[in-house]
Amino acid sequence: MRISDNKTVRAAGVSGAAFDTVAIHGCAFDDPLSGSVNVPVYQTATYGQKEVGVAPAYCYSRTGNPTRTALERQLAALEGAECGLAFASGMAAINNVLNVLQSGDHVVAGQDLYGGAYRIFTKLYAKFGVTFTFVDTTDPANVAGAITRRTRLLWLESPSNPLLRLTDIEACAGIARRAGVVTVVDNTFATPVLQRPLDLGADVVVHSTTKYLAGHSDVLGGAVITRDAELHEPFKFFQNAVGAVPGPQDCFLVLRGLRTVGLRVERHCLNARRVAEFLSAHPAVKRVYYPGLTSHPQYALARRQQRDFGGVVSFELGDDVEAVKRFGSGCRLWTLAESLGGVKSLWCHPPTMTHASVEPEVRRGNGIRDGLIRLSVGIEAADDLIADLAEGLDRVASAQAFVAHQESGSCVSRVRREGAELEEACVAGEVSG
C-alpha cells in the first residue's frame, strides 16, 4: 500500500486539490508588498494602529501575527478543517485543549500515551479537581464503560506512543458523540498524510508540529485543529490569554516543513517497513511493534484507517537495560535522542526518556518494559540504516550467547560435581557395608 494516492482535502483557494498541492498552496497567502512566493517572516511584536477604538486585523503578536496566520490556515487545510491554531510546542497545544475543563470534569484517555500528556493530566490538572480514567482504547467497549455523566473529553492517540497500538477512531468517536463527549485525537504519529481523524468523526486534532509536520528537528511547535467554530472559540481565547504561541521564525520553519511532508512521510513509511521486517527476523529481538506487520494484532484496522503504516517502529530486547546499552554502543547512524519525525533517524529508550515521568508500576503495567526501544526511522538509505542496526543488535546477540554459554558451562560443571559426589557416596556405602 502506498500513500501517493493524494486524497483530496478542503482548503481555501484549492478546494478539491490533492494533498501535496494543498501542502504548498493551502495557506492562500499573498504578500501585498512584494509578491513573495514564500510567506515572509513578520518579525514584529506590535503593529501601528490608525485610529483609537478601531480594532485592526493585527494589534499584538501574542494575539496574532501574519506568519502565524498563514501557518494556522495551512494546518487546518491539511486536516480538512476550517479552524487551526498554532502553539509554541506540542505540550502547549495539549494544554490549550485542557484549558476548557473545570473542576469536577472527567476525561477518558488511552493508557498507552505520550508521557508528557500523562504528566500534565496527572500532575497538573488532577490537582485542580479534574479526574482521568485510563483505559485500553483498542477495545471500544472499554471506552463506553469508562464514560460517566461528568466526562467531557475522550483523549486518543492512534497509533499510540510508544507501543503503536491503534484505536478505532470512528467507533470510539461515535460512542463519545452519543454521550455528548468531545473526542480529541493526537495525530502526531500518523500525520494528515496517513489519517485525518476529523473525517472519522473526531472533534479536535492536536499535533506536535515539532515532529513530522516540521520534519527537520530544528523547531518546536504544536497545533489544535477543529471544524467546530463553537469549540474553536474558547481555544482561540485561551491561546491569547495563556500566550504559549510560536514566534514568526518558528512558524516560517514549520510552514517550510509542511511543503514536503507528503514526500517525506512516504519515505519514512517505506524505510520503517523494511526496518520492521529486519527486526522481526533478528534473533536478539524479542518482539516488534509496527502496524505494518501482519503479526500486529490491529493490522487489519491499520489498513482500513490509515493510508500507510507510519515511520515509528518499537521493539523489545527482553527486559534488560544492559542489552539496550549494548545496542546503542554499536549504532553510528542512529542517534540516541528525544523526539521523532525528523529526516535523521533517532532511537530512544522510553522508560528513561519519553515516559520517565510515568510511575514504574504504571509504565510496566501498560507494557512499557525496560528493554523497549523506539525508533524514529528517518529518510536515509534503508540499507545503511539496517546495517547500522545490525551492528548494535549483533553486540546484543553476542552478549546473550556468552551468557548462555556460561550458564550451560555452569550446568555441566554442576552435573559433573554432583555425579562425582554421588559416586563417592556409593563407594563409601559399599566399603562401610
The yes-or-no answer on residue 319 being catalytic is no
Q: DSSP assignment, residue 334?
A: S
The alpha-helical segments, DSSP class H, found in 79-223 are 90-98, 115-119, 140-146, 169-178, 191-194
Q: What's the CA gap between 92 and 117, in Å, rounded? A: 11
Rounded to 10 deg, the angle between the 229-242 and 90-98 helix axes is 120
The yes-or-no answer on residue 364 being catalytic is no
Question: Which residues 6+ apart lie within 8 Å of 27 measured at CB?
Answer: 39, 70, 71, 73, 74, 77, 255
CA 290 vs CA 41, 117, 178, 383: distances in Å: 39, 22, 32, 19
The yes-or-no answer on residue 50 being catalytic is no
The catalytically annotated residue of 211, 236, 307, 363 is: 211
Q: Are 376 and 340 in contact (CB under 8 A)?
A: yes
Q: Return the amino acid letter for 308.
A: D
The yes-or-no answer on residue 105 being catalytic is no
C-alpha cell at 301: 484496522
Q: What's the CA gap between 181 and 151, in Å, rounded? A: 6
**How buried is residue 11: exposed, middle or buried, by Cβ count under 10 Å (0-12/13-18/19+)?**
buried
Q: How many CA atoms lie within 13 A of 140 on its CB side?
A: 10
The catalytically annotated residue of 105, 112, 168, 186 is: 186
C-alpha cell at 246: 510560536
Rounded to 10 deg, the angle between the 66-78 and 248-258 helix axes is 30
Q: What's the CA gap between 202 and 205, in Å, rounded? A: 7
The catalytically annotated residue of 58, 68, 105, 114 is: 114
Q: What's the CA gap between 336 and 315, in Å, rounded? A: 15
Q: What's the CA gap between 433 and 75, in Å, rounded? A: 93
Q: Return the amino acid letter for 411.
A: C
The catalytically annotated residue of 20, 47, 62, 394 is: 62
Q: Are 79 and 224 in contact (CB under 8 A)?
A: no
Question: Which residues 6+ apart lie within 8 Å of 55 measured at CB?
Answer: none
Catalytic residues: 62, 114, 186, 211
